[in-house]
Structure 1
Amino acid sequence: MKQVFANMGWLLGGRGFNAVLSLVYLAITARTLGTVGFGQFALIIALGQAVTGFSSFQTWQFIVRWGANPLQPGVDIDRAREATGFAVALDGVSVIVGTMASAVLVLTAPLWLDVPPELMWLTFAYCAVSLLAIRTTPTGMLRLHSEYGKATGAEAVQPVIRTGGTLLAWWLMPDVTGFILAFAASEVATALALWAVALRVQPVTLASISLRTIPSRHKGTWKFVLSTNMSGSLAVAGKQVMILLVGTFGGAYLAGGFRIANQLGVALIALAQTISKAILPELVQSRDGAVDIARRMANIAAIAGVTAVITAIMVGRPGLALIAGTEFTGFYWAMIILSIAGAVELVGASLESLLVSAGKAHVAFLVRLFPTVLALVMLELAIDWKGAQGAGFAVLGSSVLTVVGFYLAIMNLKQFRIVVVPGDDDDLKPTAPPER
């Protein structure tokens, strides 16, 4: 548990720094562009992040899983190099596939996305930059070696560049293009910073880059890869695709307001991801105590979630007016609903990590699949019923169903112990405890 809290301390410190600066650049962008302009900006950002999310793989999980020493806590450097080479190869696939998908989406965007035609080339460029700036692999390298401090320092580049970039955009190019360029610059700078730090911790050779080595050594590799990719895609669908569809059904104005409410109210989901990323390496390496660690973290998350929701209720409306302007205060109740959804996700983060660490990534995917699809299918009706609040209820319903599913899946694992099966140390399998 001490290592978990140490990891979380670095991650939360980085999140806190990011959160403070994000309020600055969010306020500058929203107040400069207004509701419609900010909505167009939000839709371009969401499209770039959606393409990246669907195309990329959760390579940090592969590095943590296959780079760890199977016999004792720690890192097996040879396994780590193989896992990293596999992750880099998958990143290359992501860039190629994602670029082709971006071209198709941007060409068809005028038919379904409320973004002016003159911004389409900018949209494609942002998608391409986001793909080239994929950084889950260097992040995984640093987490495997427990270099959370160095990772936090490198990731701090993003809010700093975004804040500086938005100030320059406000001064020199106060339109959608200027702010998109600022965000694109921050993506590139953060990726370069993370790779620079990660390569010092663990160099990567061209000879290690391969799509064949890891699958040939570890049974079930592609099943795990596809499961985590699809789980990540569902997470993207629950956020970025949701924003895109809100824009499709309600226009840029509604998309902009929903993005503001989502960023302020669902800051808890970022905290949930922080908890998940902090405890997964410990769950993989501790094995015997994994269920106990996950249970403790879920209890802590529940307390933090309730506290955050109460805070949002008390200061949410003046916070919206202060940060985004009075024209966005109409999205107060959407923000509250989304903050409750964030609290629910916060509780579920450790449960999902427990499933992944036990080699049940496919179960985690299936648990998320139905609620996410249901929310997207019901979104148009929800918006027609209650606008941004209706969209918030769709997100909340999806989160509740997902976490209930995680809990039921964990109940089926409680009678097992996570151990490494001799002769097949690449897979973490739940096996029945020995009879006494």
Structure 2
Amino acid sequence: MKRLFQNIGWLLGGRGFNAVMSLLYLYLATHTLGIESFGYFAIIVALGQTVTGLANFQTWQFIIRWGANGDGPAEATGFAIALDMLSVAMGTVIAAAVVSTAQLWLPLPDELLWLTFGYCMVSLLSIRTTPTGLLRLRFKFATATGAEAVQPAIRAVGAVIAAYLFPTVAGFIVAWAAAEVAVAAALWIAAARDERIDLSHISLTRLPEKHPDAWWFVWSTNMSGSLSIAGKQVMILLVGTFGGAALAGGFRVAAQLGQALVTLAQTVSKAILPELVHDEKNALEMTRRMANIAVVAGVLAVVMALLFGRWGLATIAEDDFSGFYWAMVILSIAGAVELVGASLESLLVSAGRAGTAFIARAVPTVLALIFLDAAIDWNGAKGAAFAVLGSSSLAVIGFYVAILNMREIRIVVQAEPEAGSIKTGDTRAGIAPPAE
């Protein structure tokens, strides 16, 4: 637990720096572009992150899962790099299809389409989950935090330059693209210092030959990551589709301010997963403690949003964004729910139940996207925020129910060790799987 909190501390330090820089470039972007042009900017960024998220594999999880054994991470790293190459190829096809049809479903002007495609390609070529996984495998969270700080720093500097020299959507998108390239380079350099990157191990077949469940884990975590993107970036895109660029811009600001806890939840998840894999015996107790802490932190964050959210919107964004206060509060509640669920989801993944975690996340996310149009018609940005809250709540309930089921089976196995008909299977994290 001590090392876990140290790692979370490093990650939170990086997130804190990121938050300060985010407020700076959010202020510059909203005041320079205005609500409609900022909406175009938000849609382009969301589209780039959506394409990358859909194509990207969560290779950092593979490296932690298979790189922690006695053979070292070389083979897992080669598999991860091969998957990154596959991601770029898949993402290019997705980007071309999405951008070529963007005018049919997104409020983007013709002159921004090539810029949008270019940003998608830069995002794909800047995939950095593999070096991140190598650093987390060795618990180099301080090094990773320093490398990741390059992104918000470059964004902030780029936003200042754009605001004064190139006050257009293109100017801010170029700044964001430069930050993507810079942080990817920084992470690869940092990872290569501690771990030799042997390109001869690059292969899509070598590791799966030794681990038959590898491809199932690959696709399960990829789909879970895609759902996480869908719950955030695709939501912004569809808000723009159903409500226009201005609504998308306002929802983007409300989400960034109100869902800071989602970022915190991702931070907790990234820090706790290596610990759960390395310390299977105490995984349940570790998860319970983290969930309890998350409840307290979530309540405090929601109270802060209620008390200071209106002031924050008025200070950081223009007056045009003040009408998104309640959407921001609702999204902060959704962030609190996600914070509680972060350790639960990580426990399922560490126990080899990535598929269960995916299903628990998939159903609520799909429902939220299906009912988004009706939610916006009902109550605008607040309706969209309620869709996010409902999705997060149902997903966390699903994680909890799955873990309760796994614990009950573990108790049965311990109480009746002579029952040979019960399959213990993968007991990672001290949990037996459900009976077939």
In structure 2, the residue matched to 1:278 is: 271
Please give the alpha-carbon distance, in whole angstroms, between the structure 1 residues aligned to 2:126 and 2:146.
17
In the alignment, which of 280, 286, 294 is matched to residue 287 of structure 2?
A: 294
In structure 2, the residue matched to 1:9 is: 9
AA at the equivalent of 1:280: L
Please give the alpha-carbon distance, in whole angstroms, between the structure 2 residues aligned to 1:409 and 1:430.
15
Matched, 1:170 2:163: yes
Please give the alpha-carbon distance, in whole angstroms, between the structure 2 residues aligned to 1:135 and 1:425.
33
Matched, 1:215 2:215: no
Per-residue CA distance 1:121-169 (angstroms, 9 max, x = gap)? 0000000000000011000000001100100000000010000000010
In structure 2, the residue matched to 1:33 is: 33
DSSP 3-state at the match of 1:414: helix
In structure 2, the residue matched to 1:154 is: 147
Correspondences of 1:321-336 after superposition (within 5 Å) = 321-336=314-329
In structure 2, the residue matched to 1:407 is: 400
Matched, 1:243 2:236: yes
DSSP 3-state at the match of 2:406: coil
In structure 2, the residue matched to 1:421 is: none
Please give the alpha-carbon distance, in whole angstroms, between the structure 1 residues aligned to 2:129 and 2:296.
29
DSSP 3-state at the match of 1:22: helix
Aligned-pair identity in percent equals: 64
Please give the alpha-carbon distance, in whole angstroms, between the structure 2 residues aligned to 1:203 and 1:168.
37
Q: CA deviation at 1:219?
A: 2.3
Correspondences of 1:98-247 after superposition (within 5 Å) = 98-247=91-240
DSSP 3-state at the match of 2:407: coil
Per-residue CA distance 1:215-234 (angstroms, 9 max, x = gap)? 01112000000000000010
In structure 1, the residue matched to 2:417 is: none
AA at the equivalent of 1:55: A
In structure 2, the residue matched to 1:305 is: 298
1:39 and 1:252 in contact (8 A); partners too: yes
AA at the equivalent of 2:90: V
1:219 and 1:426 in contact (8 A); partners too: no
Q: CA deviation at 1:428?
A: 3.4
2:351 and 2:431 in contact (8 A); partners too: no
Please give the alpha-carbon distance, in whole angstroms, between the structure 1 residues aligned to 2:38 and 2:397.
35
1:218 and 1:427 in contact (8 A); partners too: no
Q: CA deviation at 1:369?
A: 0.9
Q: CA deviation at 1:172?
A: 1.0
In structure 2, the residue matched to 1:63 is: 63
Please give the alpha-carbon distance, in whole angstroms, between the structure 1 residues aligned to 2:223 and 2:238.
19
AA at the equivalent of 1:154: A
1:86 and 1:209 in contact (8 A); partners too: yes
In the alignment, which of 305, 308, 316 is matched to residue 309 of structure 2?
A: 316
Q: CA deviation at 1:429?
A: 7.6
Per-residue CA distance 1:242-269 (angstroms, 9 max, x = gap)? 0000000000000000000000000000
1:50 and 1:237 in contact (8 A); partners too: yes
* Aligned length, in residue pairs: 422
In structure 1, the residue matched to 2:416 is: none
AA at the equivalent of 2:60: W
- Show structure 2 runs of 5+ residues with no match: 414-423
Correspondences of 1:249-398 after superposition (within 5 Å) = 249-398=242-391
Q: CA deviation at 1:205?
A: 1.4
Please give the alpha-carbon distance, in whole angstroms, between the structure 2 residues aligned to 1:7 and 1:105.
38
Could you tell me the TM-score, scaled by structure 1's length?
A: 0.95
1:291 and 1:414 in contact (8 A); partners too: no
2:351 and 2:426 in contact (8 A); partners too: no
Please give the alpha-carbon distance, in whole angstroms, between the structure 1 residues aligned to 2:374 and 2:209.
48
Moved over 3 A (4+): 424-433
AA at the equivalent of 2:51: V
AA at the equivalent of 1:32: T
Aligned-pair Cα RMSD in Å? 1.7
Per-residue CA distance 1:170-189 (angstroms, 9 max, x = gap)? 11110000000000000000
AA at the equivalent of 1:98: G
Could you tell me the TM-score, scaled by structure 2's length?
A: 0.95
Q: CA deviation at 1:327?
A: 1.2
DSSP 3-state at the match of 1:412: helix
AA at the equivalent of 1:283: L
Please give the alpha-carbon distance, in whole angstroms, between the structure 2 residues aligned to 1:161 and 1:431.
44
Please give the alpha-carbon distance, in whole angstroms, between the structure 1 residues aligned to 2:120 and 2:325.
30
Please give the alpha-carbon distance, in whole angstroms, between the structure 2 residues aligned to 1:249 and 1:177.
24
Q: CA deviation at 1:403?
A: 0.5
2:281 and 2:430 in contact (8 A); partners too: no
Report the CA distance shift for 1:295/1:429 in structure 2 as closer, same or farther (over 3 A).
closer
Q: CA deviation at 1:80?
A: 0.6
Please give the alpha-carbon distance, in whole angstroms, between the structure 2 residues aligned to 1:19 and 1:120.
29
DSSP 3-state at the match of 1:79: coil
